[in-house]
Structure 1
Amino acid sequence: MYYSEEIIEEIRSQNNLVDVVSEYVRLQRKGNSYFGLCPFHNEDTASFSVSPDKQMYYCFGCQAGGNVFTFIMQMENFSFIEAIKHLADRAHIALPQPEYSEEIRRKIEEKQVLLEIHKETAKYFYANLRSPRGQQASEYLIKRKLKENIQKLFGIGYSNMDFADLYQYLLYKGYDEELIAKSGLVIPKKKGKGYVDRFRNRIMFPIFDVHNQIIGFGGRVLDDSLPKYMNSPDTLLFDKSKNLYGLNYARTSGKNQILIVEGYMDVISLYQAGFENVVASLGTAFTHQQASLLKRYTGEVVIVYDSDTAGTNAALRAIPILSSAGLKIKVVQVPGEKDPDDYIKQNGPEAFQRLFDQAMGAVMFQVSIIRKKYNIEDTEQKIKFTMEVAQLLSKLDNEIERDVYLQEISNDTKISAQSILNEIKKYRTIQRRNTNTINQYSKKLETQPKDQFKTNQAPSTMDEKNGLYKAQKNILSFLYHNPLHYPKIKPHLSYEDFTDPVLMKVAQLMYGQYDKGLNIEPAAVINHFEGLNEQKQVSKIFGEEKNKNQEFDIEKAVNDQIKLIKKANIDKRSRNATDIYEIQSLIEQKKQLEKLYINLISG
């Protein structure tokens, strides 16, 4: 699919990166940039930066980076074209009728067929449940008191015991075997050709995305065999770390909160009891992507995990992740180590509502868990309890909130609020010191010269290809940060000398801009690349900072790297040359290359 450069750039310019990222990540301004916790990996210290000037983001922790299209592609698991459509809608820009390249057309058609396969599979499982073969599964659902209309709403079905039941059905429906395999619904046979069904003799729960499209399945066994629950693997449609079961209904419930439970049955049981604003993670620890997804639809969440040890630990792990997304958090603990489904069946919706009304804040929940570890009647244990709570409260940025909890802890322990506050201040000082150390280290990593800028040695044979790539990337970064040196370098280094195809295209774009007397806009350059990996690759060129204190070293490094690039290009052409005059010309060029030296210091 193809859109003109002009329309892509208009969409990018109308979607300010800081505003878009702020819909997913809580950002704080520091100097000319904004910082927050990276949504792509778990971290405690903000290493994710957004530059308003460059309209680019970069994480010092996981090295994720790019422009607004890259960010949406990473956050939403979108293709480049899907990101264009999403951001065009956001900016109220009408897209023209697109043209299709063969490769893009194939990818779009493949995704569409996979959606059709999942829809057809859901119908098949649903019909199975209502056939004689699904009698045991149907009786199980009746035992769990699930009403027929709720079963239908959630599309609950049954996968037969036969090894290749679904596989043969999808083949019969005319779907290509390769695409059936890519759906994740089948797995290769251990012996011989062909496939067998991934899900067998399980109650099946279709997993919908927020647009009500079926992107995967979860299956529950009917006996005591393991694993008790099984999810679809990650596919072109499905990434369990980026989706939430039930969100398609919860987001339209009209409630100002969303409840988070652990499993499929908890979601369905709560929904049936009238709590329609409920979601569950998909067999994985709660992730930053899931927290960011929730932030799009609510400002407050209520964790309703099981009250056993595993559920409590899961809640404790989820709290900082949800907090980092800017969500207000409450916690409900179901008594008697029961899950919400069992509790509602035994006590009714009204009893659960009373639990819900008594939900405690995330901080007091954490305090209550810490309290269980100590006997505060014992002086020594009271001190340990108070110090651990002080460490917890030191992480709160809101002073009013911190003061409220401080008073509650003081009243509970009879330790003066001032003494607890002094401990909090100590912990906050340590945290600031650690944060400053990490920031200084990150800045040092960002600004220090690369290996090629530190040594005059030729790269080893094993590292030659990698060294060549680094040389090309470093030269482009140098040209971006030092545009005044472009007229000196261009006569000796053409964009065609770059051997990496992505870097060659970047060089061509940069040379074209400089030849017109224009500045380089990194985010606009990234627009020319559709693949997420390519966009990340390009973003690293513009994330480098020039070193202002070692002019001479950089001059020599630039010359060494240009020679390395030119030599690689000449060697490549030599291997393909057949004409004697061309070979002689290349030999002469190689000799002249040894004499090359570009003086960057003098005019």
Structure 2
Amino acid sequence: MRLENLTFTDAVKKLQNDAVKNDSIHQDNDRKVAAQRKESKKTCTVPKRKRNSALRKIKDALSSASDFYHQYLRKDTERVLEARMYLLERGFSESLIHQFQIGYAPLGSSELVSYLLSKGFSSDVILESGLGVASKYGTGLFDTFRDRIVVPLRDHEGQVIAFGGRVFPYKGNEEGQKPTFGPKYLNSSETRVFKKSEVLFGAEYIFQQEEKPEQVVIVEGYFDVLTMHQAGIWYATASLGTALSLRQIEIAAKLSKTKKVVLNFDNDIAGHTAACRTADHLLEAASRRGIQLFIALLPEGVKDADEFIRLYSATDYIQRVLKNAIPLVEWRAKITLQDYDGSIESRTRCIEILGNLFSKIGTVSYRSHLAHYFAEQITQHVEDPNLVVFTEDQILRIVRNLRARRPCVKHESSKGLFRTDTIEEDSSQVLVPFSSSYDDSSGIRFVEEFFLRIMIHFASVRQRCTEVVYKGRFRFSDSSLWDLWKWLARNGLETYSQLNAEKLSIALEAEEAELYQRHAHLFSVDEHLLLEVMDPEEAVESSVS
């Protein structure tokens, strides 16, 4: 005001004018920003619309190709008649051929491409859909599938997203099923609408049923699935090869009432390798999702499910193969023991592999059962009875160590239930003591020790004792007693679930000598405790309250 020689009134008027100008500038800026955002939205939506339009064109091209192949199978040319005869010889009815829209890809080099071009599809769409391949010499496009029986692959909505093609023999061809072009089996290359690892052939037919099956079977090839559906086994799917993915297992589990998935790969080296790979790499992830992975084994000399059903019957397949399916983890463990030769080195190697394998299973009791059973198998030719217990302990020790290093993951289906494998050494959830000090005169320590005595001496309520602490209904004021509870929570329900207080103390002394020395008195038999705790469940509740 003084610098500009203004009176107070003039200064106020100037400030008002400046404010109006600034407000006008801000409004102009806001309008510009809003306009820029609007323009930005326009530019963003255009590519999205184009993308959706491109995907729609690809799916339309695939649908048109499916119609073309299926209609071509109705022609009366010699080669088409051979294709139809081949399908009938394999036992496929006309209704099954129609249901799955099975077709024939003609021998000509570009008959499908010419058809699609006549329908208005561009060369780019034909290439992107995997229906055509460009000539090396730049002379145009050629059909991907030629002289093959073709089966459409669909998504869960039933839309065609790819194809699988199979060669078939010429009439009187002594060389059998010699491919005309390429390999015996040929699948579409991956495209924007088709990812092989995310598709199960036949899954869409299960999805359409009103009621889910008790289990879903995964085989290798689509011809296996066709044979199984023809025989009434409608809950069969195919992974289109041996490279099974977690996503495919999840799809199969969602189609099943019980999340039970049965693998029935081909009875050859590739099939066995695929089953081992699934157990080694996907078992843990499947277990965390509550999926039950089983494996069904074919008898010696039978190559696949298709061959078994054609040799015997669908009833035999269900009774002899599917009903005898065993958990994948047990089959993998038995495969491991096939390499056991009785030597110390071999035993050590088997124990390490089994420990790693069993650590992938989420159920504590099942892990303990497996460890005990296979410890007996390893030591069955040894006279020392203590070796079974020692071997079992070694396996479970590896299991415990491996699970302790893994991230804390709760089972999807265990709502409200406590899982011991979710406890970590550095857990900072509700599982913390109130303080590191305590007051004996208050009686708090007596209550906390009484609670731990119940947990130690009564195996039947260890789960309950663990749950009430985890839910925050009981806390420890003494950090040392807290450490003892954590050890019991990890081991009393898992590795040493069947041990009484005396054997539990031996295990604690071997692993945590200092902790045991502090609380050895809690493991001794207290007649007063045994008389007082007539009902352990009630005793737990009284401690909590």
TM-score range, shorter chain: 0.5 to 0.7
Query: Equivalent residue for 1:502?
Result: none
**Is the CA contact (8 Å cut-off) linking 1:263 and 1:280 kept in structure 2?**
yes
1:219-298 equivalences in 2 (<5 Å): 219-222=165-168, 223-225=177-179, 226-253=182-209, 254-283=212-241, 285-298=243-256
Q: Distance in 2 between matches of 1:374 and 1:247?
A: 40
2:101 aligned with 1:155, yes or no?
yes
1:422 partner SS? helix
2:53 counterpart (97, 101, 109)? 109
Pair 1:171-2:125 in alignment: no
The answer on whether the counterparts of 2:375 and 2:392 sit within 8 Å (CA) in structure 1 is no
Instruction: Report the Cα distance in structure 2 between the residues aligned to 1:277 and 1:187, rounded to whole angstroms.
Output: 35
What amino acid is aligned across from residue 330 of structure 2 in structure 1?
M
Partner of 2:71: 127
Q: SS of the residue aligned with 1:127?
A: helix
Task: Give 1:346's aligned amino acid.
Answer: L
CA-to-aligned-CA distance 1:68-121 (integer Å, 9 cap, x gap)? xxxxxxxxxxxxxxxxxxxxxxxxxxxxxx999443332222222222211111
Q: TM-score, normalised by structure 1?
A: 0.52
Q: What TM-score, normalized to structure 2? A: 0.58
Q: 1:387 to 1:109 in 2, by over 3 A?
A: closer
What is the Cα deviation at residue 188 of structure 1? 0.5
Question: Does structure 2 conserve the Cα–Cα contact (< 8 Å) formed by 1:390 and 1:421?
Answer: no
Aligned position for 1:93:
none
Per-residue CA distance 1:3-35 (angstroms, 9 max, x = gap): xxxxxxxxxxxxxxxxxxxxxxxxxxxxxxxxx
Residue identity opposite 1:371 in structure 2:
L
Contact 2:134 2:142 in 1 (8 A): yes
The separation in 2 between residues aligned to 1:228 and 1:211, in whole angstroms, is 29
Q: Structure 1's 403 and 252: CA in aligned 2 closer, same or farther, altered over 3 A?
A: farther
Deviation at 1:201, TM superposition (A): 0.8
| Structure 2 contact 371–395 (Cα < 8 Å) conserved | no
Q: Find the residue that maps to 1:419 and give its secondary structure.
A: helix
Which residue in 2 is equivalent to 1:309?
Answer: 269
Deviation at 1:431, TM superposition (A): 2.3
Inter-partner Cα distance in structure 2 for 1:328 and 1:228: 33
Partner residue of 2:330? 364
Q: Structure 1 stretches of 5 or more lacking a match?
A: 1-97, 437-603
Q: Which residue, 179, 186, 197 being the options, matches 2:132?
A: 186
Match of 2:86 among 135, 140, 160: 140
1:556-571 counterparts in 2 under 5 A? none
**Shift in CA distance, 323/280, structure 1 to aligned 2, threshold 3 Å:** farther
Residues 309-328 of structure 1 aligned to structure 2 (within 5 Å): 309-319=269-279, 320-321=281-282, 323-325=284-286, 326=289, 327-328=291-292
Which position in structure 2 is the counterpart of 1:213? 159
Q: Work out the CA distance in 1 between the residues paired with 2:138 and 2:358.
A: 60
Whole-angstrom CA distance in 2 between matches of 1:276 and 1:424: 40
- 1:42-90 CA-partner distances (Å, limit 9, x unpaired): xxxxxxxxxxxxxxxxxxxxxxxxxxxxxxxxxxxxxxxxxxxxxxxxx
Deviation at 1:306, TM superposition (A): 1.4
Instruction: Give a deviation string over 1:521-554, Cα, whole Å, max 9, x none.
Output: xxxxxxxxxxxxxxxxxxxxxxxxxxxxxxxxxx
Q: SS where residue 255 of structure 2 aligns?
A: coil
For the pair 1:397 / 2:358, whether they are aligned, the reply is: no
Aligned residue identity for 2:293: I
Report the CA distance shift for 1:317/1:342 in structure 2 as closer, same or farther (over 3 A).
same
Q: Which segments of 5 or more consecutive residues in structure 2 lack a partner in the other structure?
A: 1-41, 169-176, 408-545
Displacement of 1:404 after TM fit?
1.9
Amino acid paired to 2:275: A
Amino acid at match of 2:228: L
Match for 1:104: what amino acid?
A: K
Offset of residue 164 of structure 1: 0.5
Structure-2 change in CA distance of 1:408 and 1:104 (3 Å): same
Is the 8 Å Cα contact of residues 243 and 290 (structure 1) preserved in structure 2?
yes
Map 1:43-62; keep pairs closer than 5 Å.
none
Greater Rg, structure 1 or structure 2? 2
**Matches of 1:250 and 1:237, distance apart in 2:** 21
Aligned partners of 1:301 and 1:329 also within 8 Å: yes
Distance across 2 between alignment mates of 1:180 and 1:388: 49
1:128 deviates by 1.6
Task: Give me the whole-angstrom Cα distance separating, in 2, the residues matched to 1:149 and 1:385.
Answer: 51
Cα gap change, 1:215/1:140 in structure 2, threshold over 3 Å: closer, same or farther?
same
CA–CA distance in 2 between the matches of 1:312 and 1:159?
33
C-alpha separation in 1, matches of 2:298 and 2:331: 13
Which structure ranks higher in relative contact order (CA pairs < 8 Å, sequence separation ≥ 6)? Answer: 1
Partner of 1:420, secondary structure, is helix
Give, as a single letter, the amino acid of the residue that structure 1 aligns with 2:337. Answer: R
* Counterpart for residue 428 of structure 1: 399
CA 255–99 in structure 1, closer or farther in 2 if over 3 Å, else same: farther
